[in-house]
Structures are given as structure tokens and as C-alpha cells.
Chains A and B, each alone.
Chain A
């Protein structure tokens, strides 16, 4: 187990270094930031001053090292736009994003797994077909379409729900559904397939031959085994939720999270914030993957006790 965790830890460090380097390189490749910070019509002297101020006159290697160094000063540099430390700008965005992520994940799991089981067990009746049809429908709808559609119906026509902000529980409803709609559909389909796969295996017949009730067979023997494959997909899906989903959905609902911050700083060319915003999201993805990896070893004793 210790060996396994050491290896997992090492993997995280290497991945993290790669991400930081990529975030740095991507910014450098996107052109001259000074034009965006100060606009056109600068005198050459002012321009040189700014270039020196932001350290852009130094070699790429020096800039890279300085960038790496800024991890250790606790502030991660200064936002071009807000003139505040990047660490502060990002920190205040973490909690709202996390709230939305947790709510969406909880909703996804609470709906998709039972629905997937139902669709597998009653696959030949209308119940299974209905679940799969719905899942198929939602799988085809991108989250921004779902978001806009919900705003139209529930805010504009019915005037039930607020569109922007994150003050009350009512604010959570639409963003959470918009974030998780696609995932619920995807995970329902996946859970169904994983359950069908497991329910066709020999040990399920053994469980029935013991005289167990069907619910015991399905949950204790079926779901417990299917959870191994389901877990691996949840990891990928929640990670994509954290990265891509939040950017789109937070922007639409003006949710004060990291996703919205990323979009805004990209438009405003606020590179220090953008760099560390990307890194923050990447860290979130890494943490999610690590948690799923651990859960995976818990779920599958063949990994837990194997030579891993």
C-alpha cells in the first residue's frame, strides 16, 4: 500500500511539473502581453519600463525560473488587471467553484447510479427503455444549451429562479443541473452497461444458486463489482466537470468561481491570473484523480493486494 501511494505521489509530482511548464509555455506563445495591458500608443520608454517591470526582457529560461520561483513567494505574482496578489484573487474563487462541483457530483451520483441499475435490471421492459431514451436525449444536449434553455423557461417565462449569483439555494439549482445533465446521462448509460456486464457473470449465478434475494444479488454482488468500472469513469467525468464544465456554466450564470475567472482573465489578457488559474484547475483534476485511484484500490482487492 505504501509503495502504491509513493508511486501515485511521484506520478502527481511529474504531472504537475508538466502542467506548470505547459501553462507557462502557452502564455509565452500567445503574443506580446504589453499591448493588451497598456493598449496602443505607448512611448518606447514607457514600453521598455513595462517590459522590465514584468520581467519580459529576461531570457525565457530566467522567466521560467522566476515563474517557478513565484510559487514560493506565496502570492504567485500580481494580477495585471486587479493589482492584487494572484493568490488572493484565486483563493476567493475556490469555495464557490468547489460548492458547485460537489453539488453537481452529488446530484450525478444520486441520479445516475440508481437509474443505471434500473435500466440494466429492467432492460427488457418499458422502464429500461424510457430511462435509456432520456439518457440518450440528455447526452446529446451540450451544457450551455441546457443552461440557456433553463434560463428561458424558469427565469424568463416562469420567473421562478434567479439567473445570476450564488446567494441562496435557489441559485444553485440551474447551474448544478446544467453542469451535471450531460454527466448524469453519460454515467447512467455507463452504469447500465457495467451492470449488464457484471450481471451476466458466473458468480451472479452462484449468488442466485445460494438462494439470495434478487436485491442482494444486484446490490451486493452486482453493484459492488460494477463499482470498480464505474469509479474509473466517475474520475474522468468529475475531472472534466471541474475543468471544462465549470468554465462554461460559471460564465453563463456569472458564478463567482474559478471557471468564470479563467474566461475573464483570458479576455483581459491577465496572464498571471490565467497561468495560475489553469494550474489551480489542474491541481483540482490531479486531486480528483488521486482520490479516485485510492477509491479504486479500495474497491478492487486484486489491486489492493496485488503486486502493484
Chain B
């Protein structure tokens, strides 16, 4: 095999900050190399540097070379803008993470694909559109002709990503750079897209540079792996060698923190009182205030479930299945149409006004986005004690003491309470969100994708914290996630949701080992699996048990 791309001593700077330092790796023709790293590792900056789009994002290539081409390699780091325009979308193409925002919303998708073809292959618009139709066919878009004249908002996330791939492959590039192309997609869609990239690769012989943070995806698609951390190369290896004998400590820790399906869940709690009982809950949304009953769409459809004291119920399902609406209906943040919700023995559906308000202290919620769910203008001590103050559980004088005890409970330093949310990293903010929920000593916490936005090591720390709190305080959790491996780690029981209904519930190991419902089986088979690791004990011995000892990424200012 010949080397197609050779990155040598590449350094990338944003202002005076070095995002990547002296990175070197190769991609051979026809192979798939995965660049893996957590946020801030410089993996996306590397991809943009190869495309020379980094300047547009405010960065620059400070040093090093990017040799591209099988025979007469040219240095992209020194290429002119005109030369780069002939490379981009033609010899090197790129697919981005967010299919929702990566397509021009006011342009028909056919036109967007044709644009690249017209530019690089000099075809007329009509010819280019014919080519675009074929490109749609290659990426298995149903009804390609009709899709050409549709706008992005008319397509699902999976279809949009297929359009992106069709666009990237339209000029048959030698190298495809895929920057987290499946991160925003559901597991079943992710499995389809990975399968598609693999088959197109074997068909066209192109090389793929795959950027991801997901070890499972690496195991599915890559031949070789490049691990990065804080802008530096940590390890280069073949995928087989990496998963069986990772050299670098960081690689070992990364593998240990990666949740893997089938690793087992927590011990079952002692039988206790029922904290949450939901019966036949149904919620529907209309298109407007005066929408007739018939035009309402049922989002949650006759859901029944229960959670005992000290128990975690994991709720899994794909986006749009109604998980979040169910959570909001339980807490009456949206009004359910019918059904009953009982929390701590009180029938919430029968409560209103002050009595509902009083009841609310029994159940709290932790949201997905730790950046958006804390008011940036509120100091931590105010933010995390606000629920307690609303419920008059704490006087203004004692609020600070409460705040200190809460942050200590979630593993942060006492002096955190006088800081503001922007001074914390994502994982720390999620700890603060949990502290806020704890301030009213709730019986139930609903965590809606609470760790989905975090890096694996940080997510691991946050779920460990939840398990720890549960042990100590007998808390019950409704843990909502699309990531089944994470759910397995924290849940005693699992409920699988599909199209508004719970299709299967049961003990975690039962549902995952012997799923009864066909949808559950489909969902589970789509989850990317890590290759078996021979030396699992050795790995987990040092790191898995002590994930909280990981240094978290330092906040920008203290």
C-alpha cells in the first residue's frame, strides 16, 4: 500500500494557544484511520487543517507539513487558496458532525450536491443534477429523483447525513475525512451510515480519516487508530493491537472508562416502597392553541412504569420516541392528557396550585446540556440553593452553608460556591446541576440525557457520583439516555421506549441478554461493540475502579 496522506510535525495554533503540537501520522490509500480523543484534543482542528479550512475558524498552521497524493505528493500546508479549491470536495472531501446544520437550509439538496460536481468536473447544471441523482442512489437514498428537489428540513437526520456523504463522494475523492459523522445520529441510523461508508470504501478504494470520540465506532470501522490528548499524539496502533494491548496509560484509561454493553449493572437494591408509579400516561401535542382533537399527535401513549426506593430505571429509545416528553409529563412540566402519576405516595395528576408546588420538592430533574441549564449570571451558591429557597427549606442566612455541603456532596471544593457557572467545565457543571437537584432532598431524580454531552471519562465520573449518592441516600433515578451501554452501568431495570410506548421492561441483564421485543433486538444489534479485550482485568484493575482520580480538564479561569 502506498501512503496517501502524510502529516508531519503538524502544529496548529489559535492565537497564541497551541491546539495541536508536532502531530505526525499517515493514511495509506484505501485504509481507514480513526483519530480518537476527547473534546479539546485537537482532532477536529487536525481535520480542518488538512482541508486548510482552519484559517476560516480563526486558527493557523504554525508548523509542519501535510503531504497529500499517492505519487507526486504536494504539501497542502503550503498550497495556495486556488490550489486548495481544486483539492477540496474533489480529491479530499469532508463530512461533518451536524447533519441538521451542515446543509444550506434554503437550497434544494440536489442543487447543493450538483454544485460540487459543476465546480470540479465542469458539467452543466442538468448533467450535474443527473450525477447527483446517481450519487443519491449510491448512498441508498430512497426515491433519489424526488429527493433532489427537496430542502434539508424535509429530510430526517439520517437522510441528511446521506446527502452529505453523497455530496462528499460526488467527485470520487481519494480521501474522505469524516468528523464525528454519526455522533448526532441514533444508534440504528449510525449503524446504517457506518455500513454505508464501509461499503462505499470497498467499492471506490478511497481512504477514510474518521474522527470520533466513540471507541465502539472505532472498533466497527477503523484499521488503525491515532489517539490524541490535549493536542498531542498519545498512541498510534493497529486497531487489533490497540484493543488487545494499548501501550499508553491514557489509552488504557480511555478504554476502561468506555462503557461497554454487557459489562453488567449495579446490584439490585433491597425491596422498598414505590417512589414513582406511572399508570397509563398519555400526552399529545396539537399544532396550535385551537387545534382540533383529531389533529393532535400522541407523543406518549399509555405508558405505565414504577420505580422503587433506591432503584434506577433506565429509559432507552431513539430520538423522537417520546422519552423527554414522558419525563416532562411525569413532572407535569407538560400537561398529560390522561393517566396517573404518583410520586412518594401523592397523586400528582390530582394536584394543582400550591399543593402541586409543595409536592415538587419530591422530584427533581437534571438536564442534558450543562452549559444551558445553569443561569450564567447566578453565583453557584444561589443557583444550587434556589430550589431549597423556593420551598422555604433554608433561610437566606443558612443558604451558604447548605451550598457548601451540597458541593462537597457532589465532589467539588467548598470554595466553588462563590464562583459562576462559566468557570466550570462541563462535567463540573453537571455536578452542580445534581447538587441543585439534591438541595430539596428529593425522593426521585429524573436525569434526561444527563451525561450525553460529556466526554467518556467525565461521563464515567458523573455516573459514578450518581451511583454513590444512590447508595448513601437511597435516591431513586429515572435515567434517560440513548446510550444503552451507559444505561446498563447505572440501571437496575430498563424500559425500552419506541414510538411513544414502552415496548419492554425488565431487569437490566434480562432485557440486554434476552430481549423479547423485536424493536429491542434491533436497537441492541445496532450498538457498536468494542472488540473483546483479552486483558480486561489488567485494564480495569488500575483505572476503572478509580475513574474519579482522572484529572478533569481544567476550567479556563478559577
Show the binding face of A for B, using Cβ within 8 Å. 201-203, 205-213, 216, 220-221, 224-225, 228, 299-302, 305, 307
Also in contact, A225 and B104, with CB within 8 A (given A205-B53, A211-B85): yes
A208-B98 Cα distance, complex, nearest whole Å: 16
Distance in angstroms from A125 CB to nearest chain B CB is 15
A202-B167 Cα distance, complex, nearest whole Å: 15
Taking a contact as CB atoms under 8 Å apart, the answer to whether A209 and B119 are in contact is no
Taking a contact as CB atoms under 8 Å apart, the answer to whether A205 and B96 are in contact is yes
Taking a contact as CB atoms under 8 Å apart, the answer to whether B115 and A302 are in contact is no
List A contacts of B93 (CB < 8 A): 209
Q: Which of A203, A211, A221, A307 contacts B116 (CB 8 A)?
A: A211
Q: Which of B87, B103, B104, B151 contacts A211 (CB 8 A)?
A: B87
The closest CB in chain B to the CB of A199 belongs to B56
Distance in angstroms from B17 CB to nearest chain A CB is 19
- 1/0 per position for B131-154, CB-CB distance to A under 8 A? 000000000000000000001011
Taking a contact as CB atoms under 8 Å apart, the answer to whether B119 and A208 are in contact is no
Most B CB atoms within 10 A — which of A203, A225, A299, A302? A203
B229 sits at the interface (CB 8 A): no
Distance in angstroms from B522 CB to nearest chain A CB is 30
Also in contact, A211 and B119, with CB within 8 A (given A202-B98, A202-B102): yes
Distance in angstroms from A71 CB to nearest chain B CB is 32
Q: Is the interface of A mostly helix, strand, loop or mixed?
A: helix
A-B contact pairs, 7 of them (CB 8 A): A203-B102, A203-B105, A205-B57, A205-B96, A210-B116, A211-B86, A302-B151
Most B CB atoms within 10 A — which of A202, A213, A220? A202
Taking a contact as CB atoms under 8 Å apart, the answer to whether A208 and B287 are in contact is no
Distance in angstroms from B14 CB to nearest chain A CB is 15
List B contacts of A300 (CB < 8 A): 106
Distance in angstroms from B174 CB to nearest chain A CB is 14
Also in contact, A209 and B94, with CB within 8 A (given A202-B101, A299-B106, A302-B151): yes
A302-B152 Cα distance, complex, nearest whole Å: 9
List B contacts of A207 (CB < 8 A): 104, 115
List residues 61-110 of chain B with CB under 8 A from any CB of chain A: 84-90, 93-94, 96, 98, 101-107
Also in contact, A210 and B106, with CB within 8 A (given A302-B151, A305-B154): no
Taking a contact as CB atoms under 8 Å apart, the answer to whether B151 and A307 are in contact is no
A117-B503 Cα distance, complex, nearest whole Å: 54
Distance in angstroms from A231 CB to nearest chain B CB is 12
B45 sits at the interface (CB 8 A): no
Taking a contact as CB atoms under 8 Å apart, the answer to whether A209 and B88 are in contact is yes
Show the binding face of B for A, using Cβ within 8 Å. 51, 53, 56-57, 84-90, 93-94, 96, 98, 101-107, 115-116, 119-120, 151, 153-154, 164, 167, 287
Q: Which of A203, A212, A216 contacts B101 (CB 8 A)?
A: A203
List B contacts of A213 (CB < 8 A): 85
Taking a contact as CB atoms under 8 Å apart, the answer to whether A221 and B107 are in contact is yes
A209-B96 Cα distance, complex, nearest whole Å: 10
Distance in angstroms from A10 CB to nearest chain B CB is 15
Number of A-B contacts (CB under 8 A): 79
List A contacts of B107 (CB < 8 A): 220-221, 224
The closest CB in chain A to the CB of B120 belongs to A211
Taking a contact as CB atoms under 8 Å apart, the answer to whether A208 and B101 are in contact is no
List A contacts of B153 (CB < 8 A): 301-302
Most A CB atoms within 10 A — which of B51, B56, B57, B167? B56
A250-B102 Cα distance, complex, nearest whole Å: 48
List A contacts of B88 (CB < 8 A): 208-211
A225-B151 Cα distance, complex, nearest whole Å: 13
A302-B98 Cα distance, complex, nearest whole Å: 19
Distance in angstroms from A219 CB to nearest chain B CB is 12
List A contacts of B94 (CB < 8 A): 209
Query: Which 10 residue pairs are nearest across A and B when measured between Cβ atoms?
Result: A210-B89, A211-B89, A211-B88, A202-B101, A210-B116, A209-B94, A203-B104, A301-B151, A202-B102, A211-B85
Taking a contact as CB atoms under 8 Å apart, the answer to whether B53 and A209 are in contact is yes
List B contacts of A210 (CB < 8 A): 88-89, 115-116, 119, 167
List A contacts of B119 (CB < 8 A): 210-212
A206-B53 Cα distance, complex, nearest whole Å: 10
The closest CB in chain A to the CB of B152 belongs to A203
The closest CB in chain A to the CB of B86 belongs to A211
Most A CB atoms within 10 A — which of B51, B87, B107? B107
Distance in angstroms from B292 CB to nearest chain A CB is 14
Also in contact, A209 and B101, with CB within 8 A (given A301-B153, A302-B151, A307-B287): no
List A contacts of B90 (CB < 8 A): 211
Q: A211-B84, A302-B105 are in contact. List 6 more A-B contacts (CB 8 A).
A: A205-B102, A206-B102, A211-B85, A212-B116, A216-B115, A220-B107
A290-B102 Cα distance, complex, nearest whole Å: 32
A300-B85 Cα distance, complex, nearest whole Å: 29
Most B CB atoms within 10 A — which of A228, A299, A300, A301? A301
